[in-house]
Amino acid sequence: MSQTTTISVGGMTCTGCSGNVSSALSVVEGITSVEVSHETGLAVIEHDGADRTSMVKAILESGYSVDGEEAPFDWTDGPVWRQSAHNTKWCLVGCSIGDFGTIAAFQFIPYLDALGWSTMSIMLLAMFNGIMTSIALETVILSAQMALKEAFRVAIGMSLISMISMEAAMNIVDVVLTGGAKLTLWVIVPMLVAGFLTPWPYNYWRLKKYGVACH
């Protein structure tokens, strides 16, 4: 006999989250249909023979909570490390476009160089521009999966911490190694390495815990 069970799910922030929960529940034996809403925080499950324990386990293992209970977090999930590395790579591409472009402009365009901006001012502008280009790239990528407005909202919400730490790491390395806001062939590689490694653990945590990517 078909039954309906409603479970309150914590930690969902976007349609991607509700999709993750829905996918996790849909493979549980006995479940015939699932409707999950990140707005209400509810999963409405139609099933025939499935028990609530199996449903709760599926939700917890997908990185979300049920009635305040969460699955134990671990840092040894190889596939999640690989996926978060891939996501971090794309975030780095977006940030580097604006960041490197700004530094290069002040370094090679005489008019901008003549303005006499301090190293700190150039770096702050480079960080801002890097974040803007990364958000733009993320929005374009996400717009293939959802409405443009929703894609923009998700891009800002899920990546700001990652981008700020990434930008700060790259620019600190640049200043330490070159003494200012300068781009050389030899400094680009350590800047990229620092920009990748700094937010990677955070991106793993975010993806593992909430199923939300940095990009």
Is residue 102 located within the same domain as residue 190? yes
Q: Read off the amino acid at residue 91.
A: C
Is residue 19 located within the same domain as residue 118? no
Residue 170 in any domain: the answer is yes
Is residue 199 located within the same domain as residue 108? yes
Is residue 31 located within the same domain as residue 109? no
- The predicted pLDDT at position 146 comes to 76
Residue 12 in any domain: the answer is yes
DSSP structure class, residue 74: -
| pTM of the full structure | 0.68
In angstroms, rounded to a whole number, what is the distance separating the alpha carbons of residues 54 and 69?
14
- Chain segment 172-185, per-residue pLDDT in tens: 999 999 999 999 99
- Chain segment 146-179, per-residue pLDDT in tens: 788 877 877 776 668 888 999 999 999 999 999 9
User: Which residue, among 70, 76, 64, 99, has the nearest Cα to 169 in the 3D structure?
Assistant: 99
Is residue 137 located within the same domain as residue 190? yes
User: Which residue, among 180, 214, 213, has the nearest Cα to 17 in the 3D structure?
Assistant: 213
Burial grade of 199 (CB within 10 A; 0-12, 13-18, 19 or more): buried
Last residue of a domain, one of 15, 41, 66: 66
pLDDT of 145 over the 90 cut: no
- Helix and strand tally (H, E) in the chain? 8, 4
pLDDT band at 72 (very low <50, low <70, confident <90, very high): low
Is residue 40 located within the same domain as residue 105? no
Is residue 196 located within the same domain as residue 98? yes
* Number of residues written out for the chain: 215
Helix (H, G, I), strand (E, B) or coil at 77: coil
Q: Provide the number of structural domains found in the chain.
A: 2
Is residue 185 located within the same domain as residue 129? yes
In angstroms, rounded to a whole number, what is the distance separating the alpha carbons of residues 41 and 92?
32
